[in-house]
Amino acid sequence: MRNTERFIALTEREMEYLFRIIDSSTSITQRHQFFLWAQGEVQSLLPHGMLVCLLDDGSGQPISIEKFSRTNVSEIAFSGLCRPDGGIIFRIMSAWSAYKNQPLLLYPADPGCVAHKHFAKDLKCDNLDRVAAHGMFDANGRTTSFFIFTQFAVALTERHSYFLELLLPHLHMALLRMLFHERHHKNGPIGEKSRKLITVREIEILRYVQSGKSNHEIGLLLDISPFTVKNHIQKILRKLNVNNRAHAAAKAMALKITL
């Protein structure tokens, strides 16, 4: 957690990077633009491998969870990180709230960080290493957006915490614009149609697929045969218009079917 009373002066180069990041953020309306921005300009101040964004727009819709990564993270593994019942993404967000909503840094070389001790095993297991996280909240204290940068190429310092605080409003607005554009111009009607097509049983099976369960394991958990599980999965693939289980797991998350 950064001491907000300590003044950090930006160098001339850092100021140039900051202005460039802010300026380029204003034109983001599409997913590929957000990806190129996060893995381009933003890298100059926060050189990360993966960015996870959460957004709760207060409309009653499920929380949006988006991943922008230059590293190879399977969708099944990512869905495990985002489990509402103990996934590390939501646990980090809880830790951030417990630390009075200040930028949160988690890294092995920080012995003074009590929070890191609670995450050390999971961070190492999931190859997340260093984490810098921060979020926005409204007047009632409700978290509206949350951003987790991880897999940093450099050691984290208090300056990264400050950079994250400066960039937070622009991350928030860029994410809002991207999701608004997708929901109202392209993916909204398709996503709604897909959600209505998927049955309650198929949602159960999709959640187990996201956690890496085999057909045999899912059958045992739901007290049905592996053949029946296979039939359900074939129907899910057709309804979501995907070719395999991993794609189904990813699309189900993108459409908020299993959240």
Question: What CATH code is carried by the domain that includes residue 38?
Answer: 3.30.450.80
100 and 210 share one domain: no
154 and 141 share one domain: yes
**149 has pLDDT over 60:** yes
101 and 204 share one domain: no
| CB burial of residue 210 (10 Å; 0-12, 13-18, 19+) | buried
**61 has pLDDT over 60:** yes
Pair of tokens at residue 61? 């819709």
User: 195 or 82, which is more confident?
Assistant: 82
Cross-strand pairs, 146: 54, 135
Q: Summarize the confidence of residues 186-191 as an average pLDDT.
A: 48
Is the pTM higher than 0.95? The answer reads: no
Domain count, the chain: 2
CA distance 76 to 213: 10
Task: Specify the DSSP element, H or E, that contains 102.
Answer: none
Contact 52, 89 (CB under 8 A): yes
User: 62 or 173, which is more confident?
Assistant: 173
In a domain, 114, yes or no: yes
**45 has pLDDT over 80:** yes
40 and 104 share one domain: yes
pLDDT of residue 220: 93
For residue 130, is it left (φ>0), alpha (ψ between -120 and 50) or beta? Answer: beta
User: 43 or 126, which is more confident?
Assistant: 43
248 and 134 share one domain: no
213 and 140 share one domain: no
Q: What phi, psi does 144 have (nearest 5°)? A: -100, -30
**Band of pLDDT at residue 88, cut at 50, 70 and 90:** confident
pLDDT of residue 259: 61
Domain around 203: 188-254
Q: Which of 159, 186, 213 is the last residue of a domain?
A: 186
Q: Which of 170, 186, 202 is the last residue of a domain?
A: 186
